[in-house]
Structure 1
Amino acid sequence: MIRTTLLLALAPALLLAHPQAAAQTSSHDQGRVLESADLAVLSTRERIEPENAMLAARLENLLPGLMEETGIDMWLVLNREYGEDPVYFTLVPQPGFAARRTTMLVFSRNEDGRVERLTVNRYPLGEPYESAWEGGSLEEQWAALGELIVDRDPARIGINVSEHWPEADGLTHGLYQKLLAALPPEFHDRLLPAEDLVIRWLETRSQSELNVYPHIVSLARGVIAEAFSARVITPGVTTTDDVAWFIRLRFESLGLEPWFMPYVNIQRPGMECGEEAPFCGASGTVQPGDVLHTDVGICYLKLCTDTQEMGYVPKPGETEVPQGLRDALAQGNDWQDGLTAAFETGRTGNEILAAAQQAMADAPWTFNIYTHPIGFFGHAPGPTIGMWDLPAEVAHTGDWPLHADTAYAIEGSIKTPVPEWGDQLVNIKLEQTAVFDGERVIYLAGRQTGWHVIR
């Protein structure tokens, strides 16, 4: 087991065993405290058992209810090697890098509500699936699938086709044509998009996932705290690219997979930050007096994070962060509170966006909201709550309603004048991974309420 000592950005009491315990703490109190702690990072081999246990629990406890909720009697997830459906790896046990030739997963809901988990494969997957057919030729495989469907006689057969959700559009045209050929014509009208089921499966977090998610987010925040320190940054020497590559290589040294290249930028007095610019910040060499920002994301135990935090490099003689910058970060926290207060079960992403915009219309700072669901993917399906380049409502994905036990990257920014900078605007860009438990938003590993200071 790999272990590392990191400066961790954690909520009180090391972030709680699971987020429900955070209900005793207000979102204002889930701030950043720096502690030195050992965090475990499982090796690739050691991850197999917990990942498969979480998968088995999801299939047993979550999928039946979601199939009933979305009215699907049978769900087909059909894949070819190296052209897998986006949802495929969330459904199959590890270790696995690809589908084996043509891999067919069949989920068949019985009258008692139980869901049979079947494979029609030349190479069986094993637990938690039962093989309904194995071996033989490709033609025999398709015939076996057709016979299984006819035998079960489902009224509504979900297939992964979608106009607006790429994660739910994994059935290729070639496989769709094969499926039609394998079925009697009278079954063709029973095929319908499994779009709602795919989104609900991908967006919903199980209890076992919620138990480990704070640890995963803590890893990401801990590396940021390490990067935004004198252990990495020498003012006048270190560049923003140096810091970004440190973050990426640090993650990789821990066996953690970034899902995008880390981004680091600077702001300073004299650097233009206009009201109309979507973002402010530039690359270059870090100097005393600079404001730093980073955007990083990792995936571990199949769950992804997305985090943005801010740092400050003191000038010679400075003993603390200028008051104007401290006030700016506090206003960024107020922006977070204004957004998360609008989260209500059943509201669509567009309705949450409108409510938050209205509540903060008279704020003494300008703001932009671009919050997205997160989970098995960094940009996951679910209710889109604004986009940085589309401040108005978002069609289709913004119309999806908010459900309990779903996770979000609470992402956005504010601009506010800094007196010490001659009232030049600073762009405070924040993003923290959080879960909505049905009543409130809980930051899975706290949130930044104080500046990272590079001393």
Structure 2
Amino acid sequence: MDITRAKLRQAAELMQKHGLDCWIIEFARETGNHSDPLAYLVGAEITWPSAFLLNHDGRSAAIVGSGDKGQIEGLGLWDEVRGYVASPRDELVNVLRAWNPSRIGVTWSDSDAMSDGITYGMYKMLESMLDRTPYKERLVSAGELAGEVRSRKLPDEIETIHSAISFTEQVFQRIATQLKPGLTEIELQKAVQGWIREAGHGFAWEDRINPIIDFGPKSEPLGHSIPGDTKLEPGHLVHVDLGITVDGFSSDLQRTWYVLRNGESEAPDEVKKAFAATLTAIDAGMAVLKPGKAGHEVDAESRRTIMEAGFPEPQFAFGHHVGRVAHDGAGVLGPRWERYGKTPEIPIQADNVFAVEMDLDVPGYGIIGLEEEAVVEETGARFLSSPQRELWLLKSR
């Protein structure tokens, strides 16, 4: 809970910057049945409609069903915990009356999924409970605040992310020992999942496609493919995309190998060209990944190098935040495409942690994918992962 307390303090300190006097961090119900991206600031799941509020001066209040009151008090996170039986309306209004905020932030966003906490139904309930009070008209979006709190990592968060990265890199080393002709994608996936579970760790996204494993050429577009019965053969590229959760924080890394054919001592020229282009794209983006830059500016530098090298324009963003989940919201290092909403415009800040990536299809051989993790510091970005700087070669026997 120490990180949660620190994040609540961080949030209170940022509220003035975002023009908010009070933040209704979570207004939700039955969070055990559907997750709320702001639950990490609450500390527990709740059943009845509940409100968790933070004032700009650091005071906090939780309004929960009587059955949840004991567990929320036991967390020691909230200055006051108010229980109710029939409705949270009176307690909610009493807290707002005591604090008298002019602008009340509610966690919703039309661009950032990880800052879009309140459901439409709960927002309508909130409006109903504040009907005939001055507070209903004071509700505004707290999406930008929620995004900044999530994306500006504290030192303990960065340290734990690094632990997840380190374990993931150990798994990649172990994967290399298993890569022999005849092995299938699904066999490798099952083995990797067994290692992760044996270590007591979790998966940064659904295990059905974690890790993503691609042996050899693919007929479908680049993407989140399901490992199948394809057997590894000489002349195949091996692409693995793996994310592991350690102590509540995640990694997201990609690595690539090439299986040498008989008589080969190095990869074919077209494979080497694609790997070099991928590496150049990573380096170009990293060179401009600095505080104050917008995400689309970083993406543009990486994207430009790929197209100048003669490859098709990438159909995905160069990077994304990593933290409690692999795709941690709050901004994207991507182009100004409608699907990304306003997130490519969000300025990069110190203490952001990003996954930066590039993937290329090499016809006849398979997929080359590199993905690293980096922390943004005052003067630029620094790798948290140990970057793959050369194509790893495997002997076929």
Q: Shorter-chain TM-score category?
A: 0.7 to 0.9
Is residue 144 of structure 2 the alignment partner of residue 196 of structure 1?
yes
Partner of 2:254: 308
Taking the TM superposition and a 5 Å limit, the aligned residue runs for 1:380-419 are: 380-386=328-334, 394-414=340-360
1:136 Cα deviation from its structure 2 partner: 3.8
User: Contact 2:320–2:331 at 8 Å: present in 1 too?
Assistant: yes
Q: 1:128 to 1:59 in 2, by over 3 A?
A: farther
Alignment pair present for 1:446 and 2:391: no
Partner of 2:62: 119
For residues 204-234 of structure 1, the C-alpha deviation after alignment (integer angstroms, 9 at most, x for no partner) is 11111112322211111221221232xx333
> Paired residue for 1:148?
95
Deviations 1:104-137 (A, max 9, x none): 2110112xxxx11221223142344235343441
Alignment of 1:220-369 (within 5 A): 220-229=168-177, 232-236=178-182, 238-258=183-203, 259-260=205-206, 261=209, 262-267=211-216, 271=217, 278=222, 284-316=230-262, 320-322=265-267, 324=269, 325=271, 328-358=274-304, 361-363=307-309, 368=314
Q: Which runs of 5+ in 2 are unaligned?
A: none
Match of 2:320 among 372, 375, 382: 372
Alpha carbons 1:342, 1:356 under 8 Å: kept: no
Alpha carbons of 1:300 and 1:352: their partners in 2 closer, same or farther (altered >3 Å)? same
For 1:190 and 1:181, locate their aligned partners in 2 and report how far apart those are by CA, in whole Å.
14
Query: Is 1:55 aligned to residue 4 of structure 2?
Result: yes
2:52 alignment counterpart: 105
Give the drift of 1:158.
0.6
1:91 maps onto 2:16 in alignment: no
Is the CA contact 1:79–1:85 (under 8 Å) kept in the aligned structure 2?
no
Distance change >3 Å, CA 74–CA 192, structure 1 → 2: same
Q: Secondary structure at the match of 1:138?
A: coil
In the TM superposition, residue 343 of structure 1 has moved relative to its aligned partner by 2.0
Structure 1 unaligned regions, length at least 5: 1-51, 418-423
Q: Secondary structure at the match of 2:17?
A: helix
Give the fraction of aligned pairs with identical amino acids, expressed as a percent: 20
Aligned residues: 378
Residue identity opposite 2:281 in structure 1 = W
| Shift in CA distance, 159/214, structure 1 to aligned 2, threshold 3 Å | same
Q: Distance in 1 between matches of 2:374 and 2:199?
A: 23
Separation in 2 of the partners of 1:405 and 1:130? 26
Change (3 A) 1:176 1:357: closer
Per the normalisation by structure 1, the TM-score is 0.74
> Which letter maps to 1:219?
F
Post-superposition shift, 1:405?
Answer: 1.0
The TM-score normalised by the length of structure 2 is 0.84
The one of the two structures with greater contact order (alpha-carbon pairs below 8 A, sep at least 6) is 1
